[in-house]
Amino acid sequence: MPLDIYDFSSFTQWVHQSLDAVMSPFWVITTEMVLVGLAFLTFYAIVGLMLVLAERRICAFMQCRLGPNRVGPWGFFQTIADLIKLLFKELIYIKKADKLLFNIAPFIVIIASFLALAAIPFALGLHAVDLNIGIFYIVAVSSLGVIGILLAGWSSNSKYSLIGAMRSGAQIVSYELSVGLSLITIIVLAGTMQISEIVELQRDGWFIFTGHISAIIAFIIFLIASTAEINRGPFDLAEAESELTAGFHTEYSGIKFAFFFLAEYMNMFIVASLGATVFLGGWMPFHVYGWDGFNAIMDFLPPFFWYIGKTAFIIFIIMWFKWTFPRLRIDQLLTLEWKYLLPINLFNVVLMATLVLLGLHF
Amino acid sequence: MMLTASQFMFYFFALAIVIFSILTVTSQRILRAATYLLFVLISTAGIYFLLNYQFLAAVQITLYAGGIVVLIIFSILLTSHVGVKFDMVGWKKRLATGIAVAIGAILVITTILQYQFEASTEAARAVEMRWIGLSLLSYEKEGFVLPFEVISILLLASMIGAIIIARKEEKNESNN
């Protein structure tokens, strides 16, 4: 079994060939899809648990507390204990809810984040689908999640849920625009939407450095807008616990609530990896054009660790936002998007186009 | 008969489209109908993916599933309550709809059966994003710059129209 942590393509080739030797093409594709699906499910669960733990530890750190510290070393098994508790909780049946939509809603949210995860490159050769329209695909499928939130809010037949869903709908639809435009700025610089090409183009320097001013503006806007798009503080009006109990998932209990919770953390992971891929080079090590010795030292660390490190950095920034800024009001939220971020973004796209045309980028 | 993977997926999506289309028009709860419509649109995007036309598939998901269905759900959220159930339509309407559907189906099916499809032996190619962008802005032969610009003006006009409709009257503001 050729397992090379610097290039996984030989490993995936080996899996494909050894499956090809024993079964027909139809079953090869089916088995491969099942294997990829299982790998993603495991990854999803592990990342979800790790992120919940990280959130609690970081929150405690910001507030000068200890955080979970009893179950396992540094509270490492706390979230696993929480998960077991959630699995055993009763699923409360709501009498006057639209039962079908109430049950479908968490799955729509989860499936949307699964679809987006498929196009994320984890390392060289470790990439489930490399579509020609990579970034557009991620933006497209992540816009499906809001439908699950709206359905959850309406079908619960509760006014808190409905208000939460309306708020989150308005918020996600508006901020999607800014996320999309800041990604378009980088597409202008890259000249392609294919994610593997975008990563490859950053071999001589990450886009945040090669695109300088315009890329930095786009990165900041991306961070703000994607924090809002995943409904996290300071933009968590959809579930503002002080006014709406828990927002759109007030009526959900047990594992269905856990689905929303998990999807929220996974969406954070997806936007962080998208930001890391597009702005910070994905799995590409830190390279400076011409410094061959330095680049060779940087190549020593396997691509997967570069990817995880950059993603963790962006996740830390997003968590930092949540625990240091007060929550915005809905009108302030919409003003920020439509009166500030959107005009700056439009100007920034033009600026980037000018930089590319004049050859002012590196 | 042994199906290939792509045939299997085609039948899967086709079946999903047919079933959810029927459910969309027969459901008595309006938000359920909207959800079934969402499934129809996503299955259509699946067929585009199967044809290797990824760009159209992503456009289908963004515009129809992410845009129009969200708009529909939003308006339902604002106007209708969870308990509302529509009455079944009367037999006259059912009969008229049945005749209209039958005529439409016969027309479409006969047209498709009469057309001589030429099977191509070439492998399916992915339509490159760069090529779509270039031909949209090209003013040479087979370029689409004129329709592109006309649509931009149409969109701008409708956006200005929407803003004017949504804007509060100045009179009301002075009264407040």
> B176: pLDDT confidence band, cut at 50, 70 and 90?
very low
Whether residues B77 and A154 touch (CB distance < 8 A) is answered with yes
Cβ-count burial of A228 within 10 angstroms (0-12 exposed, 13-18 middle, 19+ buried)? Answer: buried
- Which member of B5, B42, B128 has the closest CB to residue A29? B5
> B2: pLDDT confidence band, cut at 50, 70 and 90?
low
Averaged pLDDT for residues B109-128? 80
- The answer on pLDDT for B150 being more than 70 is yes
Is B167 within 8 Å of chain A by CB?
no
For the stretch A273-331, pLDDT in tens is 989 888 888 788 887 777 778 777 777 788 888 888 889 999 999 888 888 888 888 88
Cβ-count burial of A1 within 10 angstroms (0-12 exposed, 13-18 middle, 19+ buried)? Answer: exposed
* Chain A partners within 8 Å of B35 (Cβ): 101, 104, 147, 151
Show me where the domains of chain B are located: 8-86, 88-117, 126-168
What architecture (CATH level 2) is domain B8-86? Up-down Bundle (1.20)
Q: How far is B62 from chain A (nearest CA, A)?
A: 5
Whether residues A137 and B83 touch (CB distance < 8 A) is answered with no
Q: How far is A115 from chain B (nearest CA, A)?
A: 12
| Residue pair A238/A164 in contact by the 8 Å Cβ criterion | yes
Whether residues B73 and A173 touch (CB distance < 8 A) is answered with no
Is A150 within 8 Å of chain B by CB?
yes
Distance CA A61, CA A77 (A): 18
For the stretch B15-70, pLDDT in tens is 999 999 988 888 888 888 888 999 999 999 989 888 888 888 888 888 888 888 88
Q: How far is B90 from chain A (nearest CA, A)?
A: 25
| Residue pair B28/B88 in contact by the 8 Å Cβ criterion | yes
Averaged pLDDT for residues A177-198? 87
For the stretch A68-120, pLDDT in tens is 888 878 778 888 888 888 888 877 777 777 778 888 888 888 888 888 888 88
- Rounded to 5 degrees, φ, ψ at A123 are -165, 175
* Chain B partners within 8 Å of A173 (Cβ): 70
For the stretch A235-276, pLDDT in tens is 877 666 666 777 777 777 777 888 888 888 888 999 999 898
| Residue pair A200/A211 in contact by the 8 Å Cβ criterion | no
- The answer on pLDDT for A6 being more than 90 is no
| Residue pair A91/A243 in contact by the 8 Å Cβ criterion | no
> B108: pLDDT confidence band, cut at 50, 70 and 90?
very high
Is A140 within 8 Å of chain B by CB?
yes
Whether residues A96 and B82 touch (CB distance < 8 A) is answered with yes
> B126: pLDDT confidence band, cut at 50, 70 and 90?
low
Give residue B16's pLDDT.
92
* Residue entry with tokens 């085609």: B10
Q: How far is B98 from chain A (nearest CA, A)?
A: 28
- The answer on pLDDT for A41 being more than 60 is yes
Alpha helices in chain A (DSSP H): 9-22, 25-62, 78-88, 99-117, 134-142, 145-155, 159-190, 195-201, 207-210, 212-229, 241-244, 254-279, 292-299, 303-324, 330-335, 342-358
Q: What percent of chain A has pLDDT over 90?
A: 4
Whether residues A146 and B58 touch (CB distance < 8 A) is answered with no
Is B58 within 8 Å of chain A by CB?
yes
* Chain A partners within 8 Å of B82 (Cβ): 96-98, 154-155, 157
Residue among B68, B37, B48, B51 at smallest CA distance from B124: B51
Show me where the domains of chain A are located: 78-358
| Residue pair A146/B70 in contact by the 8 Å Cβ criterion | yes
Give residue A331's pLDDT.
83
- The answer on pLDDT for B157 being more than 90 is yes
Alpha helices in chain B (DSSP H): 5-26, 30-50, 54-59, 69-79, 91-114, 129-136, 145-166, 170-175
Give residue B104's pLDDT.
95
| Residue pair A268/A51 in contact by the 8 Å Cβ criterion | yes
Give residue A1's pLDDT.
65
Mean pLDDT of chain A: 83
- The answer on pLDDT for B158 being more than 70 is yes
Say which residues have a Cβ less than 8 Å from residue A343's Cβ, sequence separation at least 6: none
| Residue pair A202/A139 in contact by the 8 Å Cβ criterion | no
- The answer on pLDDT for B174 being more than 70 is no
